[in-house]
Amino acid sequence: MINNTRNGVLRALLLHQRRTVNDLAEAVDINPISVRHHITKLEAEGLIQSEEERHGVGRPRLVYSLTNKGMEQFPQRYLQLSLHLLQQLKANLSEKELGEIFQNLAREIAGELTKDVNLENLTLEERLQLLQEVLTAEGYTINLQEEEGYYHLVGASCPYHHVGEDYPEICAVDKELITHFISSTPVRIECILEGDKQCKYLIKKPTEQG
């Protein structure tokens, strides 16, 4: 039986992999010394794992993530079925065909999510705000940042993390979904599945014409 604090640590890692001790302490609202005790127990039970990560100058820091056993603590029976299905698809289809399946899937999802919305009547900012709401409802932690000439769509968590480790093609779903909403192709500049802390897409603002 996992106590409430340890369950809180697991849930925090479910939402955002690769968290430090301080991140987890803040997430479950206890001090870092206490959270280390719970982390040690969870590692001993094989529910979480740690690895060193370079962070500026100085010694590497430890970051923590869920193991497959840790993921299984949550009601996600679809995970193994999804992995087997993807394994069969990848074994029998070309890379191009598999990519097209993910793109078509994303288009269908996007069409369903926006069937009651006329995107053509919305500004780019309004479309991005709607996209942020949709992705948040789908389990992402999304932030929209603005700088001169660009928007940054930043995802701090990856719902596909454990599937995407073996099948990175699944990222095509997100890219196609964003493309549908903004009517242009975003540029992915960071990706959790490639070892970054977040997924980040660069979206160019439209040029104002006088």
What are the pLDDT digits (tens) for 48-92?
A: 999 887 766 778 888 898 887 787 777 555 566 677 788 888 889
Q: In whole angstroms, give the CA distance from residue 30 to residue 101.
A: 44
Confidence of residue 174 (pLDDT cuts 50, 70, 90): confident
- Yes or no: is domain 4-71 CATH 1.10.10.10? yes
- Partner residues linked to 156 by β-bridges: none
Q: Indicate the SS3 state at residue 55.
A: coil
Quick check: 161 pLDDT over 60?
Answer: yes
- Residues carrying CATH 3.90.1520.10, the chain: 95-204
The pLDDT of residue 79 = 61
- Residues carrying CATH 1.10.10.10, the chain: 4-71
Mean pLDDT of the chain: 83
The pLDDT of residue 75 = 59
The pLDDT of residue 134 = 80
Phi, psi of 69 (to 5 degrees): -65, -35
DSSP state of 115: T
Instruction: Specify the range with the lowest mean pLDDT, choosing from 11-15, 44-48, 130-134, 150-154.
Output: 11-15
CB-based contacts of 61: which residues, under 8 Å, 6+ apart?
A: 20, 52, 53, 55
The pLDDT of residue 77 = 52
Cα three-residue angle 104-108-113, rounded to 5 degrees = 145
The pLDDT of residue 208 = 60
pTM score: 0.60
The pLDDT of residue 210 = 40
Q: Which two tokens stand for residue 25?
A: 């302490």
Q: Which two tokens stand for residue 97?
A: 């065909």
Strands 187-190 and 199-204 turn out to be antiparallel
Question: In this structure, how many other beta carbons lie within 10 angstroms of the beta carbon of residue 125?
Answer: 12
Confidence of residue 1 (pLDDT cuts 50, 70, 90): very low
Which CATH entry fits the domain spanning 95-204: 3.90.1520.10, 3.40.50.150, 3.30.70.270, 3.40.50.20? Answer: 3.90.1520.10
